[in-house]
Homo-oligomer: A and B are copies of this chain.
């Protein structure tokens, strides 16, 4: 077990000073040709690599970015992480992932853990508990310390920082409009409670499209699921009672469940009843019939967030100017609607 070689080791071995070694390895003009070559050769031979921690301590940059998300076993978050990781890696950054598991306390603890020097900035999506609670002091504290934060998807406007979201309202609007244009009359919405910023926005888009149409709004056609957990019964009775001919769902799972019940009742998809979900995940792709969805472009979102964050981290200027990037969703047409 040959443990890592340091500048000091090289200096001792070659009988020069530490500073000379340091400079030689950075190819400084200050050091003579012979000495440089000797040192560089030696360093290569012993596979010298500078210690990241020491460098971090010196220039107060870790080249790590902290990602705090509610859950990782969700296709959307997963794609976002991938986008972040790819982009960050290309710029020499590592990604530290922390899971809040939809818990406010865990979110706070995770941020505190990372905020003491471990990372240069945060990318995060709020836990449902945080959004419900409306307490964003942990975010404010961090930004006040000068640590940049980029919020994505589940955001709040109460914190001044960069944000990147998709236009959820527009996505829902377009999907609903699609139904209307196809002549659907009883268009339902299956969503979660309003505390999730995204569900709220999607509901708005749904309502807007209906309001603009001759159909108008029927609040009873909206099913609000109390939690993120699946409650199959609720969906079943809702479909039985309301008999919609088109259903917009705020995620894949609601949609796939809905389709299953519809099929069990003998309804034909998309003729008798059409479905559109959110999130372009595996479920939509391999569902039977395959599910039309509003794609959120998670990977793109991750890239954008990472870009915004790293740009801010690396800009010396302390501009107090923040932007919100709004990505356009796109409708991915599959067999759960007519086409």
Contacts and interface: CB of A to CB of B under 8 A. Distances in A.
Interface of A: 1-4, 49-54, 56-57, 62, 64, 71-73, 75, 78-79, 81-82, 85-86, 89, 94-99, 110, 112-118, 144-146, 253, 256-257, 259-260, 263, 281-283, 286-288, 318
A98 B282 CA distance: 22
Nearest to A47: B141
Nearest to A77: B78
Contacts of A54: 57, 117
Nearest to A257: B286
B282 A64 contact: no
B57 A53 contact: yes
Nearest to A73: B78
A82 B102 CA distance: 13
Chain copies in the assembly? 2
B72 A81 contact: yes
B118 A52 contact: yes
Which 8 pairs, one residue from A and one from B, show the smallest C-beta to C-beta distance?
A: A53-B117, A52-B117, A51-B117, A256-B286, A49-B116, A1-B146, A53-B57, A52-B116
A118 B145 contact: no
B2 A145 contact: yes
A305 to B, nearest CB: 15
Contact of A94 (B56, B73, B75, B96): B96
A99 B85 contact: yes
B72 A75 contact: no
A64 B81 CA distance: 18
Given A257-B286, A283-B283, A73 B79 contact: yes
23 contacts: A1-B144, A3-B145, A4-B145, A49-B116, A51-B57, A51-B116, A51-B117, A52-B116, A53-B62, A54-B57, A57-B57, A64-B96, A72-B78, A72-B82, A81-B97, A94-B96, A95-B96, A95-B97, A95-B98, A257-B286, A259-B288, A282-B283, A288-B288
Given A1-B318, A72-B82, A85-B98, 18 more contacts: A3-B145, A4-B117, A51-B57, A51-B117, A52-B116, A52-B117, A57-B57, A72-B78, A73-B82, A75-B282, A78-B78, A81-B97, A86-B99, A89-B98, A94-B98, A259-B288, A282-B282, A286-B287
A118 B145 CA distance: 23
A254 B112 CA distance: 43
Contacts of A56: 53
Contacts of A78: 72-73, 78
